[in-house]
Chains A and B, each alone.
Chain A
Amino acid sequence: MANVEFMGKSFEVDEDGFLLKFEEWTPEWVDYCKDGEGIKELNEEHQKVLDFLQDYYKKNGIAPMVRILSKVTGFKLKHIYELFPSGPGKGACKMAGLPKPTGCV
């Protein structure tokens, strides 16, 4: 476990760089993550994915299935990988501040 300082904010993260507490998420977190996730500039489409993940998580307490993410955003999985090269789990969920995906991965 480590603490990350960025633009005057402090974030508690695990080894994989996931936020330990969803409540600690701030827009600065996204800026901090993007290089490590292979993203140069965030656009509206990135934002749409992040917003949906956060809404869904707040409402349901879990991350949505990939299919639901695709359906609601209208982005095919291929496009989601173009936006987030390490994919919806390791990339988008991490930047949105959601807990680390678990299970047989």
Chain B
Amino acid sequence: MAKHKTPLLDQLESGPWPSFVSDLKLEAEVRAKNEKNVNYQIPVEVVEDLLGVLELSFTDGETHWKHGGIVGVFGYGGGVIGRYCDQPEAFPGVAHFHTVRVAQPTGKYYTTEFLRQIIDIWDMRGSGLTNMHGSTGDIVFLGTTTPQLEEIFYELTHDANVDLGGSGSNLRTPAACLGQSRCEYACYDAQGLCYDMTMEFQDELHRPAFPYKFKFKFDACPNSCVCALARSDFSVVGIWKDEIRIDQEAVAAYVGGEFAPNAGAHSGRDWGKFNIQTEVCDNCPSKCITYADNKLTINDKECVHCMHCINTMPRALMIGNDRGASILCGAKAPILDGPQLSSLLVPFIKVEEPYTEVKDVVENIWDWWMEEGKNRERLGETMRRMGFQKLLEVTNTKADPRHVQEPRHNPYIFWKADEVDGPWERDVNEYRKRHQR
């Protein structure tokens, strides 16, 4: 018998999509029965009380969590999001309901053995509820008490060999698309780079030393399956420099209808016979593809690597062999001065172990931003305040037409003193000799 009545939440058990309410109720039941004889370290009724407090929020349309919360483990300045219910007497099971961020493997590939191991820890020392995964990538353990934090941390590190993720004004947990593990578009080992960078910058991840948060994300091609361009201050996106490889026989198979366009992604509706002219050539943003005499040709010098033709005919068109990545900077959500996507900083960089070139760019940016960034100012905002030119200078990057979508249209142009003839300091009397008042 449920502890609290939840008529509003109960409605969310109907419908075809997996119901989080049904799942919560199931977990509440499992905890109440405790058939595995778990020595629960936080209130058994934590899940019941979570449902109760959520129902209350549904009823009055307001959150019932207090402001903020500062808890953690010794040695680290982040990793745990503290949270307290503002109705602790009514819902004692969630009086403390802290969230623990756990570092996830890049690409989120798991063995059941590992998942069972960490969930055993969490069943005993937490609510048993999770978020798989947080938007930044972490495994999220939802709901435990302060005294359990060090215990959980001890068991995660000693038994499961896994660390906490990041939170606060620091490097947050990096994430990558699944890259070369199962995608033929991958231009570099996104998972390899993600893992290496995560390990390299553990200090920056665990002990906040930055003006504000900073995120890495790694996409192995411009399709951007981990949304690096929109959701990371430092976005690495795979790219190639040479020609798209064309298999003319496979092109003919698409034209002939043997291969479905877009690997059958649009098979749910009849879009007619595949038309290579309208679906590929005409859709090319730089119009550099032609199909004539049963032959597809691409003027690669004009190709902008948008991926459209490759996405449409994956069995006929392949990424080039001279591969690397572009680095883009500054993406952020709206607060404070408006949303930003990342801006292109390094058009092409080789991505090879030990990834020294990529790390150099990061470290140069950090040296600058840690010194110049204001309190709670994202890199994207520092770039806007101090100018893109400054970012180029600190990363030793030569300005290039590819750095802009279009040149400025206002004439408020700054010059450095050594770029103009004569010093800035001029004598007005000299001027007056030629120009009377």
Contact = CB atoms under 8 A, between A and B. Distances in A.
A100 interface: yes
Scoring A62, A66, A105 by chain B CB atoms within 10 A of each residue's CB, the highest score goes to: A105
B211 A87 contact: no
B83 to A, nearest CB: 10
Given A15-B84, A18-B70, A105-B68, A89 B77 contact: yes
B53 to A, nearest CB: 16
A64 B12 CA distance: 46
B71 interface: yes
A105 B75 contact: no
A86 B74 contact: yes
Contacts, number: 68
B72 A90 contact: yes
A102 B67 contact: yes
Interface in A82-105: 85-90, 94, 100-105
Contacts of B167: 104-105
B209 A66 contact: yes
A94 B211 CA distance: 20
Given A66-B209, A67-B371, A87 B76 contact: yes
Contacts of B69: 15-16
Contact of B207 (A18, A81, A103, A104): A81
B52 interface: no
Interface in B201-219: 203, 207-211, 213
Nearest to A102: B68
Contact of B71 (A16, A85, A88): A16
Instruction: Using C-beta atoms within 8 Å of the partner chain, give the interface range for chain B.
Output: 20 to 34
Interface class of chain B by DSSP = loop
26 contacts: A15-B84, A65-B211, A65-B375, A66-B208, A66-B209, A67-B209, A67-B370, A77-B207, A77-B209, A78-B203, A81-B77, A86-B72, A86-B74, A86-B75, A87-B76, A87-B77, A90-B72, A100-B68, A100-B70, A101-B68, A101-B70, A104-B167, A104-B213, A105-B68, A105-B81, A105-B167
B82 interface: yes
A38 interface: yes
Nearest to B375: A65
A48 to B, nearest CB: 19
Most buried by B among A15, A18, A78, A101: A15
Given A87-B72, A90-B71, A100-B68, A105 B211 contact: no
Interface string A41-68: 0000000000000000000001001110
Nearest to B210: A66
Nearest to B83: A15
A22 B13 CA distance: 48
A81 B74 CA distance: 9
A53 to B, nearest CB: 15
